Amino acid sequence: MDNFQFFSPTRFIFGKDTENQAGTLCKEFGASKVFIHFGGGSVVRSGLLDRVKKSLSEAELDFVQLGGVKPNPEDTLVYEGIKLCKQENIDFILAVGGGSVIDSAKAIGMGLCYDGDFWDFYSGAAVPEKTIPVATVLTISAAGSEGSESSVITKTDGMYKRGCSNDVIRPVFSILNPALTQTLPVYQTAAGAADIMAHIFERYFTNTKNVETTDRLCEGLLLSMLRELPKVLEDPDDYDARANIMWAGTVAHNNIIGVGRKQDWSSHDLEHELSALYGVTHGAGLAVVFPAWMKYTMNHDVMRFAQLAVRVFGCEMDFFHPERTARKGIARLEQFWRACGLPIRMEEIGGKKDDIPYLVGHLELNGGTLGSFVPIGEAEAAEIYGMMFEK
Amino acid sequence: MDNFQFFSPTRFIFGKDTENQAGTLCKEFGASKVFIHFGGGSVVRSGLLDRVKKSLSEAELDFVQLGGVKPNPEDTLVYEGIKLCKQENIDFILAVGGGSVIDSAKAIGMGLCYDGDFWDFYSGAAVPEKTIPVATVLTISAAGSEGSESSVITKTDGMYKRGCSNDVIRPVFSILNPALTQTLPVYQTAAGAADIMAHIFERYFTNTKNVETTDRLCEGLLLSMLRELPKVLEDPDDYDARANIMWAGTVAHNNIIGVGRKQDWSSHDLEHELSALYGVTHGAGLAVVFPAWMKYTMNHDVMRFAQLAVRVFGCEMDFFHPERTARKGIARLEQFWRACGLPIRMEEIGGKKDDIPYLVGHLELNGGTLGSFVPIGEAEAAEIYGMMFEK
């Protein structure tokens, strides 16, 4: 196991009606004027935004609001948010939404405490040292940003999608009410779940040896996802199943299950290009990327894939042909995602073989490679994209 | 799943040689004069105390020290620590040791910020609102106090053993170097592991329905313990196995795997009386208590026991007689602990049947019951103690 630091100071307030505590909590965390950040109309239509505002008013807190965050949140709205927050003397940010809204809020929070361009934190030109406190009211189980140290923003000038990771941007509190996810369309619920599973896979596939405790925690979360997601797809109002998925999504990405090992993350990079070119939802894109990536990298460590197949996907171990077990595990993952209504092949998201050079060309390789389990350069990426077309 | 709050702000610094960062970290967390708290001679003999002091000196921090914490830490040393810290204008406490040392340090930290008697926090007469920051350098994987919100102290006048639980007493940082546990005797290592497993069982046995995610996390940690502990007993210098156990011990008790459910904890109460009367190590006492408690409560929820047996102890499900599967799981737990050199029956720790009324009489029942999975009153406790003698 590798040396590591783990620091997750976010306070999680989990359960029914917890959004009504937003005002009290903001006040407890020192807010005097709150910037409410959100996305499209769903938080308005559902009445959530009004409930949050009512809670702030009851706590005698002033607030201003800025909506309009889109999936793959953009720098332009971040600049607008920073400007508005400065004008209004904001000292606290409350993100009401999913990963995109939270990531945008994190960028604004850092930007407010920095004289330069906030993009420096995403381009790698600077390291964030502080932020205006950011808190969240989560509306979809997926990105894990409610408890994570990361934020991903897209620079519209050139469409560069870049991430910033630093413990200072972990939210100070996150309100997690599983009932808020009950209005999500089935497809978005499934795509969110695939994103959660992908966060686990990115950590699971490692070259670090002897990481049994975190392996078992990863496997435990995956087993829970396999059992709880179908319940939600069958009955969208199954609060408990949504609660299990929501806590799994947070634990999957606050990194308690991923410490002490070298993680991979090349599949996320490969997926970003699919979202950019085809507009596919991030989690659905990951359901296309992972099976191909797994088939490509399987021979690098057949036994790790066999372990996943046996422990998570209930395959019987073929002791004399472990690669058969490994392949069966990948096949079961595909069957699971397909049964949940997710795409698992390029054709299903409008992908074309002719686009492969374009996809590869847009990867942020800089002459290097992606990932660490198996380093992925241009040739490897092209091959993996190609395998996403195979039946 | 029940509503919950989860807040674990401790920074964990995990890995080889991390104790040498003690000084830098204390300084980063605002220390100017540090109170080093420790137990017996082992941290002196091993050179750990000297390394920690050297690290503090290099960070130009003053310090004073107080050793002598014993297993089942006592109020008398807490009072001595509070007095010393006041005299010396201490603003930071560094516990170097295991759960007893950390619990004693937590009590001193609270006591320093309170005008009344620190025991008020343990008797329930007052709720702690703040503490001098407490940090830890952990030397045994067991109690989980390095990441927990709890502390247990014994009042020597009457030998009352009482706990205090509050998020304000979570350590600000904890240094976890698995190599520091390599000098522990095999028996202490196994007893510590039993304590870790017990912390998981206390959470696992619940009447709260639909808690699949935390069930799976509990099971994952147990599976890791079953695999890693025998490695350590075979080769005490197996760093990676000790590392897996150490992280499991922290995760098992910081409560991320126990949120959203009603927990039990009656076995801990039953064990405290064994430690008090027979002087048995807490973890070893738990290895005696749990099999009997499990046999007594099994029929309350046979399927939960069968789930444990199948998922953790590798038993085959007997679909027509699930109670057989449940019993087999308990038998395998006994076999495991026995193979690790732990006692699993009263006779092995010097227990006598005639002592049962005394043991029951000392339980803190106050006319009520212990636990929640199955409420345990006097008659039930007597029966469970009796079952600890059965072969």
Task: Provide the 8-state DSSP code for B316.
Answer: P
The sign of the CA dihedral B157, B162, B165, B171 is positive
The per-residue pLDDT for range A151-164, each reduced to its tens digit, is 999 999 988 888 99
Who among B209, B216, B245 is closest to A224 (CB)? Answer: B216
Chains A, B: CB contacts within 8 A come to 130
Domains of chain A as residue ranges with CATH = 11-180 (3.40.50.1970), 187-387 (1.20.1090.10)
At B245, the pLDDT band (50, 70, 90 cuts) reads very high
Would the CB atoms of B11 and A14 count as touching at under 8 Å? no
Would the CB atoms of A241 and B210 count as touching at under 8 Å? yes
- Which residues, 6 or more positions from A116, have their beta carbon under 8 angstroms from its beta carbon? A126
CA angle A245, A226, A290 (to 5 degrees): 100
Cα–Cα nearest to A38, from A63, A6, A7, A60: A63
B213: which chain A residues are within 8 Å (Cβ-Cβ)?
A: 220-221, 224, 228, 244-245, 247-248, 251
d(CA A132, CA A99): 18
Would the CB atoms of A216 and B223 count as touching at under 8 Å? yes
Is residue B205's pLDDT more than 80? Answer: yes
d(CA B306, CA B322): 6
The per-residue pLDDT for range B144-196, each reduced to its tens digit, is 999 999 999 999 998 888 899 999 999 999 999 999 999 999 999 999 999 99
A241: which chain B residues are within 8 Å (Cβ-Cβ)?
A: 210
The sign of the CA dihedral B36, B38, B40, B42 is negative
Task: Provide the 8-state DSSP code for B26.
Answer: H
At B60, the pLDDT band (50, 70, 90 cuts) reads very high
At B302, the pLDDT band (50, 70, 90 cuts) reads very high
- Which residues, 6 or more positions from B343, have their beta carbon under 8 angstroms from its beta carbon? B280, B284, B287, B288, B349
Cα–Cα nearest to A206, from A259, A256, A261: A261
Strands A62-66 and A33-38: parallel
Who among A6, A14, A241 is closest to B14 (CB)? Answer: A6
Would the CB atoms of B3 and A15 count as touching at under 8 Å? yes
Instruction: Provide the shortest C-alpha distance from residue A309 to chain B (in Å).
Output: 15
Instruction: Provide the shortest C-alpha distance from residue B173 to chain A (in Å).
Output: 9
CA dihedral B381, B385, B388, B389 (to 10 degrees): -140
Instruction: Provide the shortest C-alpha distance from residue B19 to chain A (in Å).
Output: 12
- Which residues, 6 or more positions from B184, have their beta carbon under 8 angstroms from its beta carbon? B139, B140, B192, B236
Who among A1, A178, A241 is closest to B240 (CB)? Answer: A1
What does the pLDDT profile of chain A (391 residues) look like in tens digits? 999 999 999 999 999 999 999 999 999 999 999 999 999 889 999 999 999 999 999 999 999 999 999 999 999 999 999 999 999 999 999 999 999 999 999 999 999 999 999 999 999 999 999 999 999 999 999 999 999 999 999 999 988 888 999 999 999 999 999 999 999 999 999 999 999 999 999 999 999 999 999 999 999 999 999 999 999 999 999 999 999 999 999 999 999 999 999 999 999 999 999 998 999 999 999 999 999 999 999 999 999 999 999 999 999 999 999 999 999 999 999 999 999 999 999 999 999 999 999 999 999 887 799 999 999 999 999 999 999 998 7
Coil, strand or helix at B136? strand
A144 DSSP β-pair partners: none
Who among B2, B14, B211 is closest to A4 (CB)? Answer: B14
B223: which chain A residues are within 8 Å (Cβ-Cβ)?
A: 216
Six-digit token string for B89: 């204008």
Coil, strand or helix at B120? helix
Count other Cβ atoms within 10 Å, centred on residue B327: 20
d(CA A345, CA A138): 30
Instruction: Provide the shortest C-alpha distance from residue A249 to chain B (in Å).
Output: 10
d(CA A145, CA A194): 15
Instruction: Provide the shortest C-alpha distance from residue B13 to chain A (in Å).
Output: 5
The pLDDT of residue A46 is 94
The pLDDT of residue B40 is 85
Who among B215, B217, B244 is closest to A1 (CB)? Answer: B244
Cα–Cα nearest to A146, from A92, A181, A97: A97
The pLDDT of residue A390 is 81
A137 DSSP β-pair partners: A96, A175
The pLDDT of residue B367 is 79
Six-digit token string for A11: 């306070």
- Which residues, 6 or more positions from B33, have their beta carbon under 8 angstroms from its beta carbon? B61, B62, B63, B64, B88, B89, B90, B91, B92
Question: Nearest residue on chain A to B1, judged by CA atoms?
Answer: A240
The sign of the CA dihedral B18, B22, B23, B25 is positive
Who among B3, B13, B216 is closest to A16 (CB)? Answer: B3
Instruction: Provide the shortest C-alpha distance from residue A67 to chain B (in Å).
Output: 28
Who among B210, B212, B220 is closest to A216 (CB)? Answer: B220
The pLDDT of residue A377 is 97
- Which residues, 6 or more positions from A45, have their beta carbon under 8 angstroms from its beta carbon? none
- Which residues, 6 or more positions from B334, have their beta carbon under 8 angstroms from its beta carbon? B291, B344
At B232, the pLDDT band (50, 70, 90 cuts) reads very high
Would the CB atoms of A220 and B217 count as touching at under 8 Å? yes
Backbone φ, ψ for residue A36 (5° rounding) = -95, 125
Edge to edge, the sheet with strand A92-97 lists A62-66, A33-38, A92-97, A134-138, A173-176, A4-14, B4-14, B173-176, B134-138, B92-97, B33-38, B62-66
For the CA atoms of chain B, what is the radius of gyration? 21
Q: Are B43 and B139 in contact (CB under 8 A)?
A: yes
Would the CB atoms of A217 and B217 count as touching at under 8 Å? yes
C-alpha A222 chain-centroid distance: 15
Who among B5, B16, B212 is closest to A228 (CB)? Answer: B212
A240: which chain B residues are within 8 Å (Cβ-Cβ)?
A: 1, 209-210
Question: Nearest residue on chain B to A239, judged by CA atoms?
Answer: B1
Would the CB atoms of A220 and B224 count as touching at under 8 Å? no
A3: which chain B residues are within 8 Å (Cβ-Cβ)?
A: 14-16, 18
Would the CB atoms of B244 and A212 count as touching at under 8 Å? yes
Would the CB atoms of A243 and B260 count as touching at under 8 Å? yes
The pLDDT of residue A68 is 97
The size of chain A, in residues, is 391
- Element (H or E) spanning A174, and its range? strand A173-176
Count other Cβ atoms within 10 Å, centred on residue B114: 17
pTM of the predicted model over 0.90: yes
Would the CB atoms of B6 and A12 count as touching at under 8 Å? yes
Mean pLDDT, residues B373-381: 97
Residues of B122-152 as b/e, b for ≥16 C-beta within 10 angstroms?
A: beeebebeebbbbbbbbbbbbbbbbbbbbbb
Angstrom CA distances, B291 to B210, B248, B256, B264, stand at: 25, 21, 25, 15
Instruction: Provide the shortest C-alpha distance from residue B18 to chain A (in Å).
Output: 9
Interface of A with B (CB under 8 A): 1-16, 18, 178, 209-217, 219-221, 223-224, 227-228, 240-241, 243-245, 247-248, 251, 256, 259-260
Q: Are A133 and A112 in contact (CB under 8 A)?
A: no
Cα–Cα nearest to A383, from A352, A356, A349: A356
Would the CB atoms of A217 and B220 count as touching at under 8 Å? yes
B4: which chain A residues are within 8 Å (Cβ-Cβ)?
A: 12, 14-15
The pLDDT of residue B136 is 98
Cα–Cα nearest to A233, from A278, A188, A196: A188
Cα–Cα nearest to B363, from B373, B375, B352: B375
d(CA A244, CA A128): 33
Q: Percent of chain B scored above 90 by pLDDT?
A: 96
The pLDDT of residue B366 is 76
Instruction: Provide the shortest C-alpha distance from residue A63 to chain B (in Å).
Output: 25
The per-residue pLDDT for range B103-145, each reduced to its tens digit, is 999 999 999 999 999 999 999 999 999 999 999 999 999 999 9
Mean pLDDT, residues B385-390: 95
Instruction: Provide the shortest C-alpha distance from residue B240 to chain A (in Å).
Output: 6
Question: Nearest residue on chain A to B177, judged by CA atoms?
Answer: A3
Q: Are B35 and B96 in contact (CB under 8 A)?
A: no
Amino acid identity, residue A180?
Answer: L
Cα–Cα nearest to A246, from B9, B214, B222, B167: B214
- Which residues, 6 or more positions from B324, have their beta carbon under 8 angstroms from its beta carbon? B318
A217: which chain B residues are within 8 Å (Cβ-Cβ)?
A: 217, 220-221, 251
d(CA B74, CA A160): 60
User: Please, what is the average pLDDT of chain B?
Assistant: 97
Q: Percent of chain B scored above 70 by pLDDT?
A: 100
Mean pLDDT, residues B21-49: 96
Q: Are B157 and B82 in contact (CB under 8 A)?
A: no
Six-digit token string for A129: 């040292």
